[in-house]
A and B are shown apart, each in its own frame.
Chain A
Amino acid sequence: MSELLNYIWLGVLAVFQGPEIFSLFGFGIPAAPVMVLGGLLTGIAVGATPGLAGPMAMAASLPILISVFGFTPDALLPVFGFLIGIMKGASVGGAVPAILFNMPGTPDALMTTLDGHPMARNGQPRRALRIAQLSSVTGDTFSDIVLFICAPFLAVVVEAYLDLPEKTALLILSISFVAAVMGGSVGRGLLSVGLGLVAAFVGTGQALTPRLTAGVDGLADGFPLVAAILGVLILGEIFKGIEELAHEKAAARAEARADGPRLRDDLEKGDIRRIAPYIARSAVIGTIIGALPGVGSTLAATLSYSLASRRHAARRRDDEPAFGKGAPEGIAATEAANSAVSGANLIPVLSLGIPGNAAAVFLILAADSIGGFNPGPAVFKFTAPEINPELVTAFGIFTLMSIGNLLNWTIGGRFMRSMGVLARVPGQILLPVVLLLTLTAIYVQETSLFAIWVTFAFGLVGYLFRRIGVPVLPFVIAFILARPLEQTAREAFAATGGDPWFLFSSLTSILFMVAAVASVALLSRK
C-alpha cells in the first residue's frame, strides 16, 4: 500500500517538478500543467469548429510538441499533457456549435443538437451551454476515476494470470472485436483490419533481410508509423472534405435566434437536481462503452439519449419540455455519455496497450515517438527499491487528467461560451490549413520526403475507405497492434517449445479464441 502511495506521490511530483517552461518572479513554472491548460483551450476551440476534431489537432500538434520538448523521457508528461488537454477540451467544445447553430462541432455532439439547439432557439443558449459543460465535465471526471482504479488493477491481473499464449489470444480477441463492432458491417471491419495488418507487416519481422518491401530501401523498417496513421486518419478525412466542399452548394446555415419570448438565460433553480440522475446513468453507460476497444462515443451518446428519453417520457410533468424540444435532460444525457467515453477508453490503452479510439491512437503514437514509455501491462510493475519510471509516468498522466478536469470545471465553461464565433470559419480555409499543418508536422518528425509520399498514399487509402464505407479506425488499430501481436505470438510459440497449438494450450486462451470467433459471428448486422 505504501508503495502505491509512494508511486502516486512520485507521479504528482513528476508533473509539478518536471522541466520548466518559463520562470515567473524567480519561480520556475513546470511545463506539464501549463501544457494541459494550453491543450484544453486548443481542444475547446477545435471542438467548437465544425470540420475540425480533436484527432486533427492532436495530429498537427504532436510533431511540433516533440520538436519543442525533444525525445527524452522528460518530454513525455508535457506532450501527454497537451494531448490530454485537447482530448478533454474537444469533447466539451463540440457542444458549442451544436447548441448555437445546430451543427455538431465533433461527430460526438450530433445528439446534442436535438435538445441543445431547441433550447437555444427558445432563448436560453447560455443555459444550454452550461448544462452541456456541467454534464460533460461530470461524465469525464467519473470516467477518469474509474480509469485510475481499473487500469492498474487490470494490468496487474493480466500480468499475474496471463502467460504469453493467453496474451496472444487476447490481442486476437481485441482485433476481432474492433473489426466486428466498427463500421457498417462485420465484413467491412474485417477487410479494414486485414489491410491494416498487411500494411504493418511490411519491413518488420525478424529475418535480417526486410520482408515485403519490393526492394524499396525506405521501407526497410516498415511504413513510418506517423505517416501511415496521419495519412489514413487525417489526409483521408481532408480529401473527403474537399470533395464534399466541391459538391456542396452554399448551404444556408441556421442562426441562433430567439423565437419565443425573452427568458432569463442561465442555469435555473432545480436544473442540477433534474439532470443529476441522467448524468449519473449516462456517465456509467459511457464509461462501460468506453472501456471496450473500438466502440465509439457516438454509440454511447445515442444509447444514453434513447434510454434517457424513455425514462423522461414516463416521468415528465406537462409543463416541462419533451425530448427533442429543448429538454435539459437530453443535453445532459448525451454530453455526459460522450465525455465519459474518453477516460475509460484509456483503460485498455494503459493496461494492455490496445487503443480503442482515435485519441488513444495519438497517445500511443506520442509514446512511441518519444520512447521511454510503452503502454501495456509492464507499465504497472510496482518495483522497489528500483523506481519503475514508466509507472511514475502513468501516475503523472493520471495527475494531468485530474488537472485537466479541474481546469475544465473552472475556466472551461467561460472559455467555451466565447467560442461560438468559430463555427463560421469556412471549410475552404480550414481544410488547406489543416493539410499544410499535417504535412509540415510529418516532415518535421520524419525529415524525409519519402514519408510525405507515404502519407499521401495512405491518405488515398483513407479516402477510398471512406468512399466505399469501410471504417478507417480498425485499419489504424490493426496497424498499431500488428507488431505486438506478431512479437507476442513469436514469443509464445518459442516459449512453449515450438508448440503449433499454443493458442489452445490453456482454458483462458481457448476462451479468448472462442470469444474472438463469437464476436465476429454474433455481431454481424444487416
Chain B
Amino acid sequence: MDNFLKPLALAAALALAPAASNAGDWAPPGPITMMIGFAAGGGADTQARLIAQGIEAKYGWKILPQQVTGNSGLSLAAELAKAPADGTAIGMVVSESLTYSALAAGDPNLQLDKFTPLATTASFELGLVAMADGAFNSWDRVAEAAKAGTPIRFGIASDRQADVAYLFGKSAGIDFNIVPVKGGAGVMNGLRGGDIDIGWVAGAQSKAVQQGEMVNIASGIPAKLKDSPDAPTITDLGSTFYLDGYFMFIAPGNLDPAAREALGAAINDVLNDPATEAHALVAKGFGGADVITGEALDTKMKTLLDNAAELLEKASAN
C-alpha cells in the first residue's frame, strides 16, 4: 500500500510545486495558528484578532488566534521557533521583542535572524505622558521640580523604555525614580491614581489626550505626535535615543518566500481596506495603519536592531 501511494504523492507534490512558488497562488497548507503576545482583551490583542477575522473573510484561510504572553514577547518567540516554517504559524509582537528584548536576554535561538518578519501593522505614537491638570504637565515644570529636589516617578512598561528614560534623565541632569508597571494601561492607571508622575505610553493615551485629561509633554518617536504637534521630541530635550517601534507579525525562520509575500500582502490588504474592522480600529486607536513588508521591512528591522544594540551598550556603560 505504502509503495503504491508514495510515487503518487510525489507526483502530486511535483505537479503542485510550481504553482506554490507563485505568491499570488499561495495558500496555507492548513489552518494558521496566530500567536498573540499581548494580554487578551487589550488593544493590541483586539487588533490581532480583527486582522485574523479580516484575512478569514477576504481569503478564506482558517486562522486560530491563541494567547502566548510573557517575557516581553520572548515566550511567543520561543513557541514560534518550534512551529513549522510553512506559513501555518505566525505571531504578533512588537518590534522591540526581537530587537532590544532578544539582545538583552541573549538567547541565540531567539534573535531576529532566527525569524522571518512578515509585516508591521502600526507604528508607536509614543509620548511622554502626564495628567493635564497635574504639576508635571510640561517638560519645563518637570525639569524645574527636579531641580528643586522633588523626586519624580517615571512609569515605564519595558526594559528598553527604562533604559531610554534613564539615559534621557541623565542627559537632562535628572535622576528619575523609574517605576516598572504593566503596559501602557498600567502607566495611565498610575498617572490617574497619582502613583506615578510621568510615563511612556505607546499610543493608548490618544483618547485621553484628545479629551484633555492627559497631555503628551514630549514625543518619544522621530516625528511629532499626531495628537500633540506642539510637543517637542525627546531629542530636542537632550535624549540621544528614540522609542520608535511597530506592532508586527513574524513567522519562524526560513519561511518559504512565497508564503512570506502572500501573508504580508494579506495583512496589508486587510489593514488598508477601509471596509474592515481592523482598519477602523487601527485608524482610531493606533494612529492609522503603517504596513511595511518585504525588503523594506528587513532594512527597518536592521536599523531598529542596531539602535537597540547601541542603547544596550550605552545603558550598561553608565
Contacts and interface: CB of A to CB of B under 8 A. Distances in A.
Interface in A181-206: 203-204, 206
Contacts of A217: 78-79
A371 B42 contact: yes
Contacts of A159: 193-194
B104 interface: yes
Nearest to B188: A378
Contacts of A208: 71-72, 74, 101, 104-105, 159
B276 to A, nearest CB: 17
B177 A494 contact: yes
Nearest to A163: B195
Contacts of B182: 487
A221 B192 contact: no
A206 B71 CA distance: 7
A285 to B, nearest CB: 34
A71 B71 contact: no
B302 interface: no
B11 interface: no
A352 to B, nearest CB: 13
B280 to A, nearest CB: 15
A369 B69 CA distance: 13
B207 to A, nearest CB: 6
A265 to B, nearest CB: 51
A241 interface: no
Contacts of B74: 208
Interface in B197-244: 207-208, 211-213
Contacts of B212: 385
Interface in B59-107: 66, 68-72, 74-75, 78-79, 101, 104-105, 107
Interface in A485-522: 487, 490-491, 494-498
Interface residues of A, number: 35
Contact of B70 (A221, A385, A447, A497): A221
Contacts of A206: 180
B150 to A, nearest CB: 12
B213 A491 contact: no
B78 A370 contact: no
Contacts of A107: none
A495 B153 contact: yes
B137 to A, nearest CB: 17
A221 B194 CA distance: 30
Nearest to B102: A208
A322 interface: no
B189 to A, nearest CB: 5
A74 to B, nearest CB: 10
Contacts of B153: 494-495
A494 B178 contact: yes
Nearest to A388: B192
B71 A369 contact: no
B290 interface: no
Nearest to A220: B75
Nearest to B79: A217
A370 B67 CA distance: 12
A370 B181 contact: no
A383 interface: yes
B177 A495 contact: yes
A210 interface: yes
A210 B180 contact: no
A73 interface: yes
A371 to B, nearest CB: 2
A242 B219 CA distance: 62
Interface in A302-335: none
Given A378-B189, A386-B213, A491-B180, 17 more contacts: A71-B41, A163-B195, A203-B70, A206-B180, A208-B101, A208-B104, A209-B71, A209-B107, A210-B70, A220-B71, A221-B71, A370-B40, A372-B42, A383-B213, A495-B153, A496-B177, A498-B177
Interface of B: 39-42, 45-46, 49, 66, 68-72, 74-75, 78-79, 101, 104-105, 107, 151, 153, 159, 177-182, 189-190, 192-196, 207-208, 211-213
15 contacts: A71-B45, A72-B46, A159-B193, A164-B195, A204-B70, A208-B104, A209-B71, A221-B68, A221-B69, A221-B70, A221-B71, A371-B42, A495-B195, A497-B177, A498-B177
